[in-house]
Structure 1
Amino acid sequence: MNSLTVRRWIRLEYATGFILCLFLYLYAGYPVTLFFLLLLVPDISMFGYLFNKKIGAFIYNLGHNLIIPFLLLIVTMTGGLSIAFVCIWLAHICMDRSLGFGLKYGHSFKETHMQKTF
């Protein structure tokens, strides 16, 4: 009867994170069109796969981990960076993970931490 598996809970959490990032972005007064135009910019990190799978996974994971945007969030609090940039980056990560995409392993583009944790 329990239709909310752990996987679904985690995806729901990330979907909620995406909505929160969008809300904060809009609350700060930035245009919604710019949000959606820039939402896929972190996927530029996929170009690392042009070298090989191991380098590709490393570069992709740099663009899709939560550590860097969270650290940049601290910088925004000191006035050193626009919160728009961080909201879009975090929204992208949350969107990806809510769809089941995650950090990559060095041997396969399709295999992610989202599949391994369940």
Structure 2
Amino acid sequence: MNNLLKVEELAMFLISIYLFTFLDYAWWIYLAFILTPDIGMIGYAVSTKLGATTYNLFHHKGIAILVGFVGFWWMIPELQLAGIILFGHASMDRIFGYGLKFGDNFKHTHLGNL
């Protein structure tokens, strides 16, 4: 993946950390939950198509922004946290080249093949 894209994703990851500082949670909560979106990989236990669908559900930045927006709009701290974690995790994954998945193979992503 292009280094410029990695820097962009790093900036978005840092934005998620910055936004987290506005929430009323201890700092370790971010660390404790940053890997939880990988629960979406459980779909791969059934099939690659279901795995790609569940993985993408937990790694789509649009969904993360929507969850966070709803949380901030209605002042629901749990949704605020979930949106920030989903967004930060997706950015972190993309720094390492893991993109949204296609249904044919785990290694086939929108960023190319792993």
Give me the TM-score of the superposition, normalised by structure 2: 0.88
**CA displacement at 1:17 relative to structure 2:** 0.5
Residues 15-55 of structure 1, C-alpha deviation per residue, up to 9 Å, x if partnerless? 11001100110233422211011001000000000111111
Structure 1 unaligned regions, length at least 5: 1-5
**Distance between the aligned counterparts of 1:74 and 1:59, measured in 2?**
21
In the other structure, the counterpart of 2:84 is 87
Amino acid at match of 1:55: L
Count of matched residue pairs: 111
Runs of 4 or more off by more than 4 Å in structure 1? none
**Distance between the aligned counterparts of 1:104 and 1:96, measured in 2?**
12
Amino acid at match of 1:24: L
**CA displacement at 1:90 relative to structure 2:** 0.6
In terms of Rg, which structure is larger?
Answer: 1
Q: Does 1:41 align with 2:21?
A: no
- Deviating more after overlay: 85-94 vs 69-78: 69-78
Q: Does 1:60 align with 2:55?
A: yes
In the other structure, the counterpart of 2:100 is 103
Amino acid at match of 2:83: V
**CA displacement at 1:80 relative to structure 2:** 4.4
Structure 2 unaligned regions, length at least 5: none
Amino acid at match of 1:30: Y
**Distance between the aligned counterparts of 2:112 and 2:76, measured in 1?**
34
Identity across matched positions, percent: 32
Residues 39-92 of structure 1, C-alpha deviation per residue, up to 9 Å, x if partnerless? 010000000001111111111111111121111122123224222221111100
- RMSD in angstroms over aligned alpha carbons? 1.5
**Distance between the aligned counterparts of 1:105 and 1:76, measured in 2?**
29
**Distance between the aligned counterparts of 1:97 and 1:41, measured in 2?**
16
